[in-house]
Amino acid sequence: MQSERRFKYYDLIMAVFVTVLLCSNLIGVHKVTQFRLPIFGEFVFGAGVLFFPISYLFGDILTEVYGYARSRRVIWAGFGAMIFASFMSYIVTSLPSAETMDQTREAAIEMIFGQTPRIVLASILGFWAGEFSNSFVLAKMKILTAGKWLWTRTIGSTFAGEAVDTLIFYPIAFVGIWSTEQIISVMIGNYCLKVLWEVLATPFTYRIVAFLKRVESVDFYDTDTNFNPFILAS
């Protein structure tokens, strides 16, 4: 059982996690961009993917330092925030506009914030399943590696979590809207970019983890943890 002790930076990391999650799901989710790379040709990906992996980075940090149970609470906080943001977007875009409001501006607001139920459902399910997969894999790998080789856990858990997220989100959100070729192309591009992002951020992750373990005097191992994602008790 994890004690209910207070930590100096836990709440701050939770706030950063939720902020990144909401921003990455509200900004850039509709835009698909591409770059031409030498040898590989066109590289296609969703613009929001440039920032969404930060939530996985902080998910790794939470589980590595504070343990799966406390990470579980943060995931549920993000889940609730996403539901509220989707509900608020629906209400705001459903309200009648003033006669003086510019039609072009209204159309832009509805396009950006008036997400279809499919995209909302895909985002919420993909996030929930992906984050819990990420946290579970990291916690188990920490035990298997006896706390050594942090990079194997952060990258390995991202491989699993991002795969689950990607395989859930894009088919639910875009089958029948995008062509199968475009869905597969964006899925592969986004997945590779997310994993690459985690690899490049490894030195940054090491610094944060080392700092938190030192100042918080904690390095939790989930040897007796209940991994049921549907409970909040520690």
Q: HSE-up of 187 (CA within 13 Å, CB side)?
A: 21
Question: What's the distance, CA 33 to chain centroid?
Answer: 20
The answer as to whether 170 is a domain residue is: yes
Would you write out the chain's pLDDT as a tens digit for each of its 234 residues?
455 678 999 999 999 999 988 888 777 666 667 777 777 677 666 667 778 788 889 999 999 999 999 999 999 999 999 999 888 888 888 888 887 888 887 777 776 776 678 888 998 999 999 999 999 999 999 999 999 999 999 999 999 999 999 999 989 988 988 899 988 988 888 888 888 888 999 999 999 999 999 999 999 999 999 999 999 876
The answer as to whether 231 is a domain residue is: no
The answer as to whether 227 is a domain residue is: no
The answer as to whether 2 is a domain residue is: no
How far is 194 from 199, CA to CA, in rounded Å? Answer: 9
Q: Which domain holds residue 31?
A: 10-93+104-216
The residues near 35 (Cβ < 8 Å, ≥ 6 apart) are 42, 43
The answer as to whether 85 is a domain residue is: yes
CATH, residue 70: 1.10.1760
**pLDDT given for residue 28 in this prediction:** 63
How far is 64 from 45, CA to CA, in rounded Å? Answer: 29
The answer as to whether 83 is a domain residue is: yes
Q: Phi/psi zone of residue 77: left (φ > 0), alpha (ψ -120 to 50 degrees), beta?
A: alpha
**Each residue's pLDDT tens digit, 142-174:** 999 999 999 999 999 999 999 999 999 989 988
Question: What's the distance, CA 95 to chain centroid?
Answer: 30
H runs (alpha helix) in 53-149? 53-66, 68-94, 103-113, 117-144
Domain total of the chain: 1
Q: What is the token pair recorded at 100? A: 């003086």
The answer as to whether 226 is a domain residue is: no
The answer as to whether 172 is a domain residue is: yes
Are the beta carbons of 28 and 51 closer than 8 angstroms? yes
Q: What are phi and psi of 175, to 5 degrees?
A: -60, 130
Are the beta carbons of 47 and 193 closer than 8 angstroms? no
